[in-house]
């Protein structure tokens, strides 16, 4: 690597001068979060954690992630329409994982009744890390793909200006001009707006389904405001509001508080905790409706780690993309080793492999939102303590990606200014809209770089571990 920020990192006085400038730039740009203590009050907000300088990212790997996004969009859309595949692949998981079983039950129930929805909107973020082998070669490896509530597209649209300003203040004008343009919030709004337009009811609204605790509201507001600019009405409701006040009319249009709903954009619904019994009923009601769900329940199931693992089997991608060998090659080129832990010989082999070298793997349950995975010795504890062999099926095993660590300052409200050893995760945002059988829109719409100190194996920005960043292409 030729470029580096060593001149800055080795100058403590300069760091102390520049950090407050960076923080003010973040606040001015709206790179903000509500506080943990007051997650539902905007009167107190603070900057969202971010890196002092953009982190160096190989341009070739960035381009590779960008180039494969439309393929992933297409793949997700096709998998979500393949009942036989989802049924077969998730059969073992459904038996042992109550949450996935609940989603699956609703999925089957809606299929049986007949799907009223005719416009489909997918907004996803495919996450990668840069694996570094013993010879120092780096390669792009997918961590996972998020098909529900993929966040930080809003704030990521504002962080480029922050790093530009910091580089300018440091006199690094040339480097400042090399930062990549990024505006996922516009792309996300374009997708929602297209779905709304195809739903074709001028008075209908877009419903943002939001958390009880709304710390990350500004990330959502950036998308919301893009929709208002296009004269599309947005309302925000919780799952509880839907369970108490939503209804379907005779042709299964969805209504809440007198508003007809064209699009439901989920920013919750991916964790078991999100649902009580009424919550599940509300989910079923929405799924039965004509409204465009982002995502529909099939697409949420398509984003499970079990589906990711099954898609990595030889021949699995061919089932969906037989006529597109280049797309298959691009997609497969990003896969890390993924292994089934289902009951039987194959699963036994996987478990033995993990027990023999736990430091080489990550053990993952079917959960989203960070903090659920197991690493190293923990993997042994989990596998050795499994009593009923079917329980093992609720996990998949994955090769651990080993990026080359680098240095950066992680600016977090209330934390000391210190140089950390870091690794990054690059997310690519994708959007697609399908009407009936016709793909109307399929695009890559921007990126998100998150960086964390190497002492943490897991955990996102919301958990206070990772921070927002920008790729500096090299």
CB of 204 to ligand ADP, least distance (A): 32
Residues that bind ligand ADP (CB under 6 A): 127, 143-144, 336, 362, 364, 368-370, 372-373, 398-401, 425, 458
Reply yes or no on whether 125 is catalytic.
Answer: yes
Closest to ligand ADP by CB, 143 or 209:
143
Reply yes or no on whether 305 is catalytic.
Answer: yes
Catalytic member of 125, 141, 367, 452: 125
Catalytic member of 139, 144, 310, 340: 144
Q: Could you tell me the end-to-end alpha-carbon distance of the chain, in angstroms, rounded to an integer?
A: 7
CB of 270 to ligand ADP, least distance (A): 8
Reply yes or no on whether 364 is catalytic.
Answer: yes
CB of 33 to ligand ADP, least distance (A): 18
**Rounded Cα distance, 382 and 377, in Å:** 9
Strand partners, 364: 396
Catalytic member of 161, 310, 368, 425: 368
Closest to ligand ADP by CB, 22 or 396:
396
Q: Is the dihedral of CA 467, 411, 156, 34 positive or negative?
A: positive
CB of 177 to ligand ADP, least distance (A): 30
Work out the angle at residue 122's Cα, subtended by the Cα atoms of residues 120 and 126, and round it to the nearest 5 degrees. 160
CB of 17 to ligand ADP, least distance (A): 32
Reply yes or no on whether 369 is catalytic.
Answer: yes
Beta carbons of 130 and 61 less than 8 angstroms apart: yes
Closest to ligand ADP by CB, 32 or 362:
362
Closest to ligand ADP by CB, 255 or 335:
335
Reply yes or no on whether 332 is catalytic.
Answer: no
Say whether 231 sits in a helix, a strand or coil. Answer: coil
Reply yes or no on whether 418 is catalytic.
Answer: no
Strand partners, 444: 430
Catalytic member of 337, 369, 370, 376: 369
**Rounded Cα distance, 350 and 337, in Å:** 11
Of 401, 399, 420, 398, nearest to 409 (Cα)? 420
Closest to ligand ADP by CB, 164 or 305:
305
Closest to ligand ADP by CB, 129 or 193:
129
Q: Is the dihedral of CA 203, 206, 211, 216 positive or negative?
A: negative
Reply yes or no on whether 42 is catalytic.
Answer: no
Of 240, 330, 223, 233, nearest to 282 (Cα)? 240
Catalytic member of 141, 306, 392, 450: 450
Cα Rg for the chain, rounded, in angstroms?
22
Peptide bond preceding 474: is omega within 30 degrees of 0, i.e. cis? no
Reply yes or no on whether 144 is catalytic.
Answer: yes
Catalytic member of 364, 392, 434, 452: 364
Reply yes or no on whether 185 is catalytic.
Answer: no
Beta carbons of 216 and 190 less than 8 angstroms apart: no
β-strand pairing of 471-473 with 55-57: parallel
Rounded to 10°, the helix 377-384/345-356 angle is: 140
Token pair 């877009």 in the structure block, residue: 206
Say whether 434 sits in a helix, a strand or coil. Answer: strand
Beta carbons of 307 and 90 less than 8 angstroms apart: yes
CB of 132 to ligand ADP, least distance (A): 12
CB of 146 to ligand ADP, least distance (A): 7
Closest to ligand ADP by CB, 253 or 350:
350
Q: What are the residue numbers of the active site?
A: 125, 144, 146, 151, 305, 364, 368-369, 450
């Amino acid at each position: 690597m030729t470029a580096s920020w060593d001149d800055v990192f080795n100058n403590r006085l300069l760091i102390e001068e520049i950090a407050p400038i960076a923080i003010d730039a973040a606040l001015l740009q709206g790179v903000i979060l509500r506080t943990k203590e007051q997650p539902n009050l905007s009167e107190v907000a603070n900057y969202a954690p971010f890196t002092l300088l953009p982190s160096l990212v190989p341009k070739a790997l960035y381009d590779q992630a960008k180039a494969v996004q439309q393929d992933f969009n297409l793949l997700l859309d096709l998998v979500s329409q393949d009942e036989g595949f989802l049924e077969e692949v998730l059969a073992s998981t459904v038996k042992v994982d109550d949450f996935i079983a609940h989603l699956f039950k609703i999925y089957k129930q809606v299929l049986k009744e007949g799907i009223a929805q005719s416009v489909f909107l997918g907004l996803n973020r495919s996450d990668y890390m840069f694996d570094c082998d013993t010879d120092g070669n780096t390669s792009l490896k997918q961590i996972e793909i998020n098909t529900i509530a993929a966040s930080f597209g809003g704030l990521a649209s504002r962080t480029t200006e922050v790093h530009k300003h910091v580089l300018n203040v440091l006199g690094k004008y040339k480097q400042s001009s090399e930062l990549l343009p990024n505006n996922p919030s516009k792309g996300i709004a374009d997708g929602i707006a297209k779905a709304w337009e195809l739903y074709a009811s001028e008075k209908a609204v877009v419903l943002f389904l939001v958390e009880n605790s709304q710390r990350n509201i500004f990330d959502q507001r950036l998308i919301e405001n893009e929709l208002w600019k296009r004269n599309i009405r947005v309302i925000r409701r919780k799952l509880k509001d839907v369970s108490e006040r939503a209804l379907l009319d005779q042709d299964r249009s969805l209504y809440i508080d007198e508003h007809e709903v064209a699009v439901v954009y989920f920013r919750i619904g991916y964790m078991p905790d999100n649902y009580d019994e009424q919550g599940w009923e509300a989910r079923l009601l929405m799924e039965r409706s004509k409204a465009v769900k982002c995502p529909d329940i099939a697409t949420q199931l398509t984003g499970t780690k079990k589906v990711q693992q099954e898609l990595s089997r030889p021949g699995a991608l061919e089932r969906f993309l037989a006529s597109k060998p280049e797309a298959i090659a691009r997609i497969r080129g990003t896969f890390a080793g993924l292994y089934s832990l289902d009951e039987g010989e194959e699963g036994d082999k996987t478990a033995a492999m993990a027990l023999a070298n736990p430091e080489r793997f990550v053990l993952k349950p079917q959960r989203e939102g960070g903090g659920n995975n197991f690493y190293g010795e923990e993997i042994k504890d989990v596998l050795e303590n499994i009593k009923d062999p079917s329980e093992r099926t609720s996990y998949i095993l994955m090769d651990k990606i080993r990026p080359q660590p680098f240095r950066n300052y992680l600016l977090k409200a209330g934390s000391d200014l210190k140089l950390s050893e870091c690794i990054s995760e690059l997310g690519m945002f994708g959007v697609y809209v399908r009407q009936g059988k016709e793909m109307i829109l399929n695009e890559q719409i921007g990126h998100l770089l998150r960086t964390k100190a190497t002492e943490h194996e897991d955990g996102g920005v919301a958990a206070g571990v990772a921070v927002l960043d920008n790729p500096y292409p090299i």
